[in-house]
Amino acid sequence: MNYDEWKLSNPIDDKSYGYSVVSDCCGARMDEDQGLCYECKDHCEPMEDYEYAEKRHDNYLEDRMDAERDEK
């Protein structure tokens, strides 16, 4: 890898952080080739584990905001 490639590379997409692919339904590991979730045995969309964690956190914050609005 020359200097220009190194400077323009994205470590997350270059797989140097060791992220794994999980399903969007339950966050379990999945077979990327067939699109099957190992947990629920259903066809799911693949996403990286850090994206799934961020999605779950966003859903949690949204649920908290909804609960606070319901209390008023």
pTM of whole model > 0.85?
Answer: no
Nearest to 23, CA basis, from 8, 9, 41: 41
- How many domains are there within the chain? 1
In a domain, 4, yes or no: no
In a domain, 47, yes or no: yes
Given this model, what pLDDT does residue 64 score?
95
For residues 72 and 64, give the distance between their C-alpha atoms in angstroms, rounded to a whole number: 13
In a domain, 62, yes or no: yes
In a domain, 41, yes or no: yes
Task: Kindly tell me if the per-residue pLDDT of 22 is higher than 70.
Answer: yes
Given this model, what pLDDT does residue 71 score?
83
Question: Domain range spanning residue 60?
Answer: 10-71
In a domain, 53, yes or no: yes
Convert the pLDDT of each residue in 47-67 to its tens digit: 888 899 999 999 999 999 999
**Mean of all residue pLDDT scores within the chain:** 82
